[in-house]
Structure 1
Amino acid sequence: MKKWSLLAFISALLMGCGSNDAEDVVVDTVGLDIDGLSTQDKQHYAQVSTDINTLIIHIGGQCFDAESERNPDMELTGFNCNIANYKDSASQAQYSSISLISGELAITRTSLNTYKIQTNDNVKFHAASISDGTLNYRLEDDNAIHFTENEETDSHTATFRGFFRDDKTLDVTYWTVESISSTPFSYEEDTNNQHSWLAGGSAKLSGKDGKTFDWTTSTTGEVVLPLTE
């Protein structure tokens, strides 16, 4: 079963069982074969999976600024964001090459300094280091990026859980990526706003047969795999 057809079928079977149950079954059944990945492959998958969240946060910030300028006297609690309006100016990741294609974000301001980023339309992008096809990233139901600002310390933290689909040439594959809540990521930008990155956090990737692998990021956002697996 190609593309989202398998997901739709299993979703129908699992209605009422929890919003991420269907995705977990898809990943466990026809997900990424983690056992077949080399250490370098894992490095690439982890870096791309981290960096796409970085770019989505960056674009979300640009959207927020634009909405605030359009509605300076209104309390901004929620808005949509078309990636097509910002992809050419998106801050570029330093350790993976990602080309954004399309997507629409739904951003909710859950409190004064916290935001929840989800997708109305999947974020579509290319990342040559892991695929020759189009990748889709979905943030729906319990999947989301949570972003928090701390004005007192001028710091920004992020956590995320999302569902990937890879429309590569041979077989469509799926995986989920989830930050580990005990070690959230710090969102950073350089002074010239040329690069942004997620530093000092940890996350894991889940593939088929319940297999996972995890990683951390350095202070500059580079993925660091564990010494032993």
Structure 2
Amino acid sequence: MKKWSLLALASALLLGCGSNDAEDAIVDTVGLNIDSLSSQQKQDYAQISTDINTLILFIAGQCFEAESERNPNMEITGFTCNIADHKEAVSQTQFSSITLNSGMLDVNRSSQTEFKIQTKDNVKFHAASISDGTLNYRLVDDNAIQFIINETGTDETGTDSASFRGFFRDDKTSDVTYWTVESLGTTPFSYYEDTNNQHSWLANGTAKITGKDDKTFDWITTAIGEVELPLTE
């Protein structure tokens, strides 16, 4: 059973409202076969899974700036962002090639410095290093990107921070694949943009991918956002 029909069925059976039980059941049953991946393939999946969060953060920031310019006196508590409106301004990531296609982001601001980013519609993108099809990134229920601005810091210090959990679907030409990705530990990723907004990256964090049969692998990112797998797996 392909695409979201499997998710809808699992959701109905598990009544996982407000949680990710249905998604976890899908991944456990028909998820990415991690045991079959080479080290290079793991590197590619980890880099893409990290970098799509980076690009979503960049676009959410662009959308926030646009909302603020339209009404600088408005107390923004929540707004919707259409990725298509910001595709021309999108930054690039340095270690993977991602083409963003479409998607709607719901951005909720709980304080002056704290933001929660979720998906009104799935973010659709292409990443040739891991798929010949369309990739979908879903951020609903317990899935979200959490972003905190450090008001005393600057872009150069990398003190703005991010954590995330999300659900991927790969609509490749055969055997639709699912996996989840989540950041780990008490220390979140540091979010950076270069001074001309051409590149953005998530540095010095730890995350993991979960696939079929609850198999996982984790990684760290370096100060420049490059994924490094553990020396022993």
Q: TM-score range, shorter-chain basis?
A: over 0.9
User: 2:85 maps to what in 1?
Assistant: 85
User: 2:167 maps to what in 1?
Assistant: 163
How many residues end up aligned between the 2 structures?
229
Unpaired runs of at least 5, structure 2: none
Distance of aligned partners of 1:194 and 1:208 in 2 relative to their CA distance in 1, 3 Å threshold: same
- Structure 2 Cα separation of the partners of residues 118 and 36 of structure 1: 31
User: 1:135 maps to what in 2?
Assistant: 135
Unpaired runs of at least 5, structure 1: none
Which of 190, 198, 220 is the aligned partner of 1:194? 198
| Greater Cα offset, 70-79 or 49-58 | 70-79
Which of 211, 220, 227 is the aligned partner of 1:223? 227
Q: CA-to-partner distance for each residue in 1:174-210, whole Å, 9 max, x for gaps? A: 0000000323100001112110000000000000001
DSSP-derived class of the 2:197 partner: coil
- Structure 2 Cα separation of the partners of residues 88 and 130 of structure 1: 24
1:99: Cα distance to partner? Answer: 0.2
User: 1:174 maps to what in 2?
Assistant: 178
| Greater Cα offset, 172-181 or 12-21 | 12-21
Distance of aligned partners of 1:16 and 1:207 in 2 relative to their CA distance in 1, 3 Å threshold: closer
- Structure 2 Cα separation of the partners of residues 17 and 196 of structure 1: 34
DSSP-derived class of the 1:108 partner: strand
Contact 2:17 2:141 in 1 (8 A): no
- Structure 1 Cα separation of the partners of residues 195 and 64 of structure 2: 19
User: 1:14 maps to what in 2?
Assistant: 14
User: 1:23 maps to what in 2?
Assistant: 23
Q: What is the alpha-carbon root mean square deviation over aligned residues? A: 0.9
Contact 1:159 1:181 in 2 (8 A): no
1:226: Cα distance to partner? Answer: 0.3
Name the amino acid aligned to 1:73.
N
- Structure 1 Cα separation of the partners of residues 42 and 201 of structure 2: 19
User: 2:76 maps to what in 1?
Assistant: 76
Contact 2:16 2:22 in 1 (8 A): no
Structure 1 ranges of 4+ moved more than 6 A: none
Given the alignment of the two structures, is residue 211 of structure 1 paired with residue 212 of structure 2, yes or no?
no
Name the amino acid aligned to 1:156.
D
DSSP-derived class of the 1:111 partner: coil
1:19: Cα distance to partner? Answer: 1.3
1:16: Cα distance to partner? Answer: 4.8
Q: CA-to-partner distance for each residue in 1:71-104, whole Å, 9 max, x for gaps? A: 1111111100000011122000100000000000
Q: Percent identity?
A: 72
